[in-house]
Amino acid sequence: MLRTLGIETSCDESAVAVLDRDGAVEVNLLSSQITVHAPYGGVVPELASREHLKALPYLVEHALEGALDPIEMVAVTAGPGLVGALLVGVRFAAALAWGRRIPLVAVDHLEGHLVSPLLDLDGRPARSEPERMLALVASGGHSSWYLIEGGSRRCLGRTRDDAAGESFDKVARVLGLGYPGGPVIDELARRGDSKAVPLPRPRIENAPFDFSFSGLKSAAVRWVYGRDLQGVGAGDKRQEVRDLAAGFEAAVVEQLLRPLDELAMRHRPQAVAASGGVAANTLLRDRLTDWGARHGVEVLLPVHALTADNGAMIAHAGQLAHRSGRVDDPRRLDARAREVWQPPGMRKQADRLRSREMGED
């Protein structure tokens, strides 16, 4: 693999990292925009782009100063995400790669999350991907289970409405807990009784591996309004707020992990992984770790700092893609709001669909 600079600007974190030839993280820098977007209760796209423009040159300069040797490749998130925000990273990365005459590799943001459990922040080389693995990606924009086998990725189940992180953020917003909501609900939930507030666990008919969070979220929001608890704020000491946090967290985690038993029976994975911002959740981590111990299956979780968006996971996904032959043209690379490219296992399916649309099949 090549020594790689990774750049991530798909949402509200400007993140840059340098990984050595073994995938060990040498530098991992982050500039969060949370305080910029907090007053609006969510990410404001135009503000995000402007903040990336300010932060990125500074972060890259520091990352290159901190790296032990010159970089040999640039990897950048090209989608999915906010197009304006992505463009800042993509153009910056393309100019850098072009100027230094080194390869540029476009990375799908989800692919980054998928490889994040392979990395450490203590100077150790990246571990190699287990041969057959079930991987959950749960973030502010995605909630899906993948089967990762021999380098291919297949989506086995996904949310039909909200993402798990998004539902944490919405319930938190109604309670006035600020943005992002997941970490605050996690903290409140530690002191709550998860059985005190009954919440539904909706299922999707005929799709046992897909999730739905919108009914659960609406029920939680109705409960908050029903008790006149809207906007109470994170400092509120009422037990019922903690109980709601615990009940809601338990329901989301149950929804996310419900497909696991059946998927594990079908696919017999060597390991089970979780990644994305929601993989920072205490209950999710505990439940998965217990599941692994009970079933004798290794559980891979990213270190806390690599659950959220970061440059290290983008650099490593780029390293692996480059090793398999991927290179992008710095003059042509564009940002995409949706998937950059289907994960390798899904690419054939996408190609088939495309050729069918074009009447070639």
Name the residues that contact Zn ion, by CB under 5 A. Answer: 139, 309
Does the footprint of ligand KG4 cover residue 308 (CB under 6 A)?
A: yes
Pairing of strands 298-300, 271-275: parallel
CB of 296 to ligand KG4, least distance (A): 27
- Which C-beta is closer to ligand KG4: that of 183 or that of 344? 183
Does the footprint of ligand KG4 cover residue 169 (CB under 6 A)?
A: yes
Query: Shortest CA distance to 119 belongs to which of 10, 264, 18?
Result: 18
Q: How far apart are CA 169 and CA 163, in angstroms?
A: 10
Pairing of strands 132-138, 143-149: antiparallel
Pairing of strands 4-8, 143-149: unpaired
186 binds, among Zn ion, ligand KG4, none (CB under 5 to 8 A by kind): ligand KG4
Pairing of strands 13-19, 104-108: unpaired
Q: For residue 28, what is the enclosing H or E element? A: strand 25-32
Does the footprint of ligand KG4 cover residue 276 (CB under 6 A)?
A: yes
CB of 56 to Zn ion, least distance (A): 17
Does the footprint of ligand KG4 cover residue 248 (CB under 6 A)?
A: no
Give the position of tokens 């010159």.
Answer: 70
Determine the size of the site formed for ligand KG4 (CB under 6 A). 20
Does the footprint of ligand KG4 cover residue 139 (CB under 6 A)?
A: yes
CB of 244 to Zn ion, least distance (A): 26
Q: How far apart are CA 208 and CA 215, in angstroms?
A: 16
Does the footprint of ligand KG4 cover residue 319 (CB under 6 A)?
A: no
The region of 32-40, 176-184, 232-240, 327-335 touching ligand KG4 under the rule CB under 6 A is 176-184
Does the footprint of ligand KG4 cover residue 168 (CB under 6 A)?
A: yes
Does the footprint of ligand KG4 cover residue 130 (CB under 6 A)?
A: no
The region of 42-50, 61-69, 276-284, 335-343 touching ligand KG4 under the rule CB under 6 A is 276-284
Could you tell me what percentage of the chain is helix, strand and coil, using 3-state DSSP and rounding each to the nearest 5? 45, 20, 35
Q: How far apart are CA 165 and CA 272, in angstroms?
A: 20
Query: Shortest CA distance to 128 belongs to which of 300, 359, 311, 315?
Result: 300
CB of 282 to ligand KG4, least distance (A): 7
Tell me which residues touch ligand KG4 (CB under 6 A). Answer: 11, 139-141, 165-166, 168-169, 180-183, 186, 276-278, 280-281, 308-309
